[in-house]
Chains A and B, each alone.
Chain A
Amino acid sequence: MLLNDHEQWQQNPRKSETTSDLLLWLLQVNDSQFPSGAYAHSMGLEGHMQRGLVKKPEDLETFLERQIVPNLLHFELPYLLRAHQAASANDQTALQALDHELDAWKLGAEMRNASRQLGNRRLAMLLKLDQDEFLQNYAVQQPPCHHLIITAIELRNAPPATAACAFTYQTISGYTSAAMKLIRLGQERCQGILRKTITQVAPDLQTLIDQPTDRIGWFNPTLEISSMRHARAHERLFIS
């Protein structure tokens, strides 16, 4: 599925990088050593743990399966694909509009700020690694720089499915990494949960690309409440 997508992309006149360049770039920017600051965020998971909603590895699996994967499939990935399309078309105006709109979508201040912080850290690092005129021009406008938007820009020369895979991996591995610091969870079990969760997303990615929907959004007030409360928690390990 992804190979077909990649072959189609190879024929795209905008493609400017070789497959190996692209793969190496993808590995570097998704590596846990890449200093995006993601290690400092639990994205609401710590709040869930404080409320007693996630206490053990089985709870983490359920949380990812029923709250995070649906949010990816119904909101973040379709949004990422819109941003990727705009970035691939060099449409900075559309990207900025999507970036500002995310401020309204992310109701919880802590989650909103976390998304901006991750995006800005990622953007700053990318600018140091690559003389990318498109990125430089985008940064000059001082947009919110949500993580999702910056990921779409950094991978605009990759096929959309690749960008979606990268964002999916970043999101889910962020949660599993945070979980290891919050609950009794070993590395092997963590990798098992990560693998199980990302394979849950994979079959739907091509559908998202082939049949983009006008209607996006997901209902998760519990995670929003956890995030809002976390901002004022007496004790906390993570920024979000």
Chain B
Amino acid sequence: MKGHLHLICSRNSLGQNHLRQQSFRAPLHLSKPHDDEDTLVVNLVTPTAGVFDDDEIDYNIHVEATARLTLTTPSSSRVYRSRNGGTGRVHQHLHVAAGAFLEYYPEPFIPHSGARYHQQNSLHIDEGGSLMFFEWLSPGRVASGESFEYHELRWDTDLWYADQLVARERYSLTPAEDSVSALTMTYPHAHYLGCFITGIEPPIDAIEALNSPDIYIGCGPLIHGGHTIKAVCNGSLAARKTLRALRQLLYTAHQKKPPHLGRFG
């Protein structure tokens, strides 16, 4: 299945955030966007169960000057066992203009046993653009006895700030080849959280104070224009608690209230 999501978020003459253009195709669907805390909240839903072999999905998200967008998923993203050896692919191209704000806040990514998946994230932030880009990678369906049993996950991220490449990551996670050993040496069912931020000065001491026996978290500046936060958590509850606290801290630093996503009470 080949799907796409193309969005352009703008602010109109009345000062309201709105989707100036939108186009999507299965396996993606949008719920009705709504404004909360001066930010347009767009929920991405997947009518199919998740990503299967050879699925290809393209995201093109543009947030124009002064507009504010929170893009989120109300449920976890799943990648199923590859039955024909094919790989599910997702390409995400996000662009944030000067003075604009984008929060990308997905629920956990759950790779099933035998899954093959390749995600490419290309994040382009103009100088003065603000970004909170979160990622949550779970070890799999732990409650069903599947932990790090996927076949291969490839994860490529490039972050460009003011036309300068400021972060590059290339992961090939194949649990059979020990490539997740950095995670499992901390916790046997470790959840990984990653975050890139621009345009917001993160409260590093407060973020690192989230450390506990179940949470290992660090934050630091990129070479230019932003920060990265990484955390390894002992299980999904610790991961959710961390992400929730982190989001609150970053919004406070941003001097804004976080839009209510309907799942944090």
Binding site for B on A (CB under 8 A): 51, 53, 62, 66-67, 70, 74, 100-101, 103-105, 107-110, 112, 215-229, 231-232
B204 interface residue per 8 A CB criterion: yes
Residues of chain A with a CB closer than 8 A to B171's CB: 217-219
Can you show 18 pairs from A to B with CB atoms below 8 A apart? A66-B181, A66-B182, A104-B159, A104-B167, A104-B168, A105-B169, A107-B220, A107-B222, A109-B222, A217-B170, A219-B172, A222-B232, A224-B218, A225-B230, A228-B218, A228-B220, A229-B208, A231-B220
B167:A220 contact, CB within 8 angstroms: no
B180 interface residue per 8 A CB criterion: yes
Closest 10 CB pairs of A and B: A217-B170, A228-B218, A225-B218, A228-B220, A66-B181, A219-B171, A103-B223, A104-B168, A222-B182, A220-B182
Docked complex Cα distance between A65 and B180 (Å): 13
Of the residues B216, B220, B223, contact of A222 by C-beta under 8 Å: B216
Residues of chain B with a CB closer than 8 A to A108's CB: 218, 220
Interface 1/0 per residue, B175-193 and A, CB below 8 Å: 0001111110110000010
Number of interface residues of B (CB under 8 A): 38
Interface of A is mostly: helix
B168:A105 contact, CB within 8 angstroms: yes
A178 to chain B, nearest CB (A): 19
Docked complex Cα distance between A4 and B114 (Å): 41
Of the residues B173, B179, B217, contact of A225 by C-beta under 8 Å: B217
Of the residues B178, B208, B211, contact of A66 by C-beta under 8 Å: B178
B231 interface residue per 8 A CB criterion: yes
Specify the chain A residue showing the minimal Cβ separation from B160: A104
Known A-B contacts A224-B230, A225-B231; the reply to A219 vs B173 at CB < 8 A is yes
Docked complex Cα distance between A66 and B180 (Å): 9
Specify the chain A residue showing the minimal Cβ separation from B159: A104
Of the residues B169, B173, B185, B220, contact of A109 by C-beta under 8 Å: B220
Residues of chain A with a CB closer than 8 A to B8's CB: none
Residues of chain B with a CB closer than 8 A to A67's CB: 181-182, 185
Docked complex Cα distance between A223 and B216 (Å): 11
Docked complex Cα distance between A122 and B194 (Å): 33
Residues of chain B with a CB closer than 8 A to A222's CB: 182-183, 185-186, 216, 232
Of the residues A53, A74, A112, A224, contact of B186 by C-beta under 8 Å: A53
Residues of chain B with a CB closer than 8 A to A224's CB: 218, 230
Residues of chain A with a CB closer than 8 A to B168's CB: 101, 104-105
B261 to chain A, nearest CB (A): 25
B36 to chain A, nearest CB (A): 31
Specify the chain A residue showing the minimal Cβ separation from B192: A221
Summed over the interface, the residue pairs from A and B with CB atoms below 8 Å come to a total of 96
Of the residues B170, B182, B228, contact of A215 by C-beta under 8 Å: B170
Residues of chain A with a CB closer than 8 A to B232's CB: 221-222, 225
Not counting A70-B181, A104-B158, A221-B231, a sample of 13 additional A-B residue pairs whose C-beta atoms are within 8 angstroms of each other reads: A51-B216, A62-B185, A66-B185, A103-B223, A105-B169, A108-B220, A215-B172, A218-B171, A219-B180, A225-B230, A225-B231, A228-B219, A232-B205
A228:B230 contact, CB within 8 angstroms: yes
A107:B169 contact, CB within 8 angstroms: yes
Specify the chain B residue showing the minimal Cβ separation from A225: B218
Of the residues A70, A101, A216, contact of B165 by C-beta under 8 Å: A101
Docked complex Cα distance between A110 and B221 (Å): 9
B170:A70 contact, CB within 8 angstroms: no
B30 interface residue per 8 A CB criterion: no
Known A-B contacts A215-B170, A225-B230, A228-B218; the reply to A112 vs B223 at CB < 8 A is yes
Residue of B165, B169, B182, B183 with most chain A CB atoms under a 10 A cut-off = B182
A217:B169 contact, CB within 8 angstroms: yes
Residues of chain B with a CB closer than 8 A to A62's CB: 185
Residues of chain B with a CB closer than 8 A to A107's CB: 167, 169, 220, 222, 228, 230
Specify the chain A residue showing the minimal Cβ separation from B177: A70
Residues of chain B with a CB closer than 8 A to A103's CB: 166, 223
Docked complex Cα distance between A101 and B160 (Å): 12
Residues of chain A with a CB closer than 8 A to B192's CB: 221
B230:A104 contact, CB within 8 angstroms: no
B185:A110 contact, CB within 8 angstroms: no
Docked complex Cα distance between A53 and B187 (Å): 11
Specify the chain A residue showing the minimal Cβ separation from B154: A215
Specify the chain B residue showing the minimal Cβ separation from A110: B220
B166:A104 contact, CB within 8 angstroms: yes
A220 to chain B, nearest CB (A): 4
Residues of chain B with a CB closer than 8 A to A225's CB: 216-218, 230-232
